[in-house]
A and B are shown apart, each in its own frame.
Chain A
Amino acid sequence: MAERNMSPNKTPIPEQDPQLRNKNFEEVALGYTEEMAVSEAARCLQCKNRPCVAGCPVNVQIPEFIDLIVKKDFAGAYKKIKETNSLPAVCGRVCPQETQCEARCVRGIKGDSVGIGRLERFAADWAMKNLDEKAEAPKSNGHKVAVLGAGPAGLTCAGDLAMLGYDVTIFEAFHKGGGVLVYGIPEFRLPKAIVQAEIDKLIEIGVKLDTNILAGKVVSIPELFEEEGFEAVFIGTGAGLPMFMEIPGENLNGVFSANEFLTRTNLMKAYSEEAATPMMKFSKVAVVGGGNVAMDSARCAQRLGADTVYIVYRRSMEEMPARKEEVHHAIEEGIVFNILTNPTQIIGDEKGYVKGIECVEMELGEPDASGRRRPIAKEGSEFVLDVDAVIMALGTNPNPIISDNTPHLDINKKGCIIADEETGATSLPGVFAGGDIVTGAATVILAMGAGKVAAAAMDKYIQEKK
């Protein structure tokens, strides 16, 4: 038995040097070695009441898998995680552990919490490298279910249902599965090969992935039931239409939504010389917004060769919704933060290309409905940042395609599908929903949690219907 590691500090994770990595798309964090993992795992106190598990939306058996790492049973650790989490290599990289499992870790009271995310990633990566056993497809229970959207919610729901023996078909609008994991989150934060490997594992256990199918258009939900014999449907179609600020100049050449910019860069691989999809050339870029998507956009722009990349955010560092780690990485890589700054218009040259963004300085007033202090413009403080591209990372509005084409599917005022929190059930019998299409833009792990909850409810629904 290894000795408990009482160091107050998390074992550091090796990273690419900031000045090197801001010019390439390779992964930033390199992952623990076996020794590092065992040493970090030995910091876990194996608390009896397991507060960390309660912080995990997909209920990963955290102390158990960490104990297996201490015992150097890495395959066992991986299998333990896999019992409840269908995408461990993804979660180990992009989950906001600092507000979930790690936020509740007892070691975090005096010092750093245990690096649960890093250990999860280690176990998943170790398995990918060292485990060669093909997963076996579970025995079929003879029931057909459909999943709309191959993002984190849909993949999780599909994986759980397949494990229960369902015949699962995922319908994906894009030419590739993965959703935001492939079009949104950049390669340097989540290598696409890892997402593909996770999807391949689902296919091994019998999940069918039908790409180029835009549900609602080419096949409707009623048709899935009536003509194609599906007994339940999960809608996990994700976030939708990008928001803009509705300020002058937003349709100038060189203004992108973060969705477009990231999709060109990641899914369509615009960073590679060989890519057929073009990317505009730029040297100074303003990214408007303070979330993870804004950080991803800024760091991609830097890697695509921009000299200067600004984050333009109307509140202060404290209110910034992005993960601290991502902000830290962005700062290390040389991204310039213009906080308490809000764009008022985008300025174009005579040919209609962006040449600047006019901003106004902000100060914080009383807290607003979100509990954050409301930013107020300082009169007369306008100034212009010289930029030749602007990326709007302001969030999204729900995509109306499914709701417009599905009679009696209830949506709320914002256009999000209304689904029961405990089950994912919608207003239509047999139709469940989860992820961003229900909550509005949120995190990968919350979408996965919703997919998991819905999978259990769909199983119950079908079993009770018999």
Chain B
Amino acid sequence: MYKILKKRDLNESNVLMEIEAPRVAKKALPGQFVIIRVDEDGERIPLTIAGLDLETGGVRVIFQKVGYSTTLLGEKNEGDYISDFAGPLGKPTDFEDFKKVIVVGGGLGCAIAYPIAKALYDKGVEVDLVVGFKTKDLIILEDEMKEAATRLHIMTDDGSYGKKGFTTDGLDAILAEDPNYDAVFVFGPPIMMKFIAQVTKKYDVKTIVSMNPIMIDGTGMCGGCRITVGGETKFACVDGPDFDGHLVDWDEFMRRSAMYKEQESEAMEKHKCRMEGMS
């Protein structure tokens, strides 16, 4: 069993948790992920690591209460235990010797964009952090992100905070002025990553995307997480999760990610009924 050391609601649907897993904390590197099971018979949920606390042995994850299992996890509190926590999985992000980069985060993707930007910024890399949210109320980690970049660019879809527009607009504006960036790192929903990759393609800037497909074991065994990159099938869990954004077959990825949508909403309905039945 693994203890929840910290829990913070970032907004209505996004939750930050720090879970006690000293072995994982000791080894994890930016870009890697963990697999969580809330309880016995629970689903295995892959979540990218959003930070570490080496003193407490805590591993931070940030998730959206979107399906049955993440909702269940969101109902747990500080001091509660979850049944499984495995990691670090996948390959760490390769920072090569980049000097000047852009990190893009969309919505919940900022949970990962932030630690990656921070790791680069702390190494002395010049970092533009472009983050986008639907609206002001959904902004997360603003104070933290300010400390993790040379320049922070906040975008909102409705213009209620920062600049109005999508992350693609923000990114395009930066690159139009100065296309001499070594790389762009992208974290966010697949559709956003697809369009970001189209923008960077225009300016011919290396683009690294962090993929989060459906998977079970996260160790290469099931092959459920396969994606096509440059015409070849890759397993995101062992070959990734980072890939060249210009080579990913985005339409296939989005289609595969939506495979269990119907079952997911059925499971949510069942859960809601049960919760309402209890109250």
Contact = CB atoms under 8 A, between A and B. Distances in A.
Interface of A: 173-175, 183, 211-214, 217-219, 240-242, 244, 246, 250-251, 253-254, 256-257, 259-260, 263-264, 268-269, 274-280, 351-352, 399-401
Given A174-B217, A218-B27, A269-B41, 10 more contacts: A175-B37, A212-B84, A214-B86, A217-B27, A253-B256, A257-B223, A259-B223, A260-B222, A263-B222, A278-B264
Contacts of A183: 221
Contacts of A401: 219-220, 238
Contacts of B42: 276
A274 B274 CA distance: 12
Given A218-B23, A276-B69, A401-B238, A212 B85 contact: yes
A229 to B, nearest CB: 16
Q: For B86, B88, B227, which residue has the most chain A Cβ atoms within 10 angstroms?
A: B86
Contact of B41 (A211, A212, A259, A274): A274
A352 B228 CA distance: 14
B46 interface: no
B24 interface: yes
Interface of B is mostly: mixed
A400 B256 CA distance: 25
Interface string B83-120: 11111110000000000000000000000000000000
B233 A241 contact: no
B23 A278 contact: no
Given A240-B221, A244-B223, A276 B87 contact: no
B84 A278 contact: no
B252 A352 contact: yes
A375 B153 CA distance: 61
A251 B219 contact: no
Given A217-B27, A251-B228, A275-B41, A260 B216 contact: yes
B259 interface: yes
B182 interface: no
A250 B227 CA distance: 11
Contacts of A211: 84
Nearest to B84: A175
A18 to B, nearest CB: 29
B255 A351 contact: yes
B236 to A, nearest CB: 12
Nearest to A238: B221
A183 B219 CA distance: 14
Interface in B242-266: 252, 255-256, 259-260, 263-264
Interface in B175-219: 216-217, 219
Contacts of B89: 214, 217
Contacts of A214: 86-87, 89, 219
B267 interface: yes
A373 to B, nearest CB: 30
Contacts of B259: 253-254, 280
A219 B87 CA distance: 10
B44 interface: yes
B162 interface: no
Given A217-B88, A274-B41, A251 B226 contact: yes
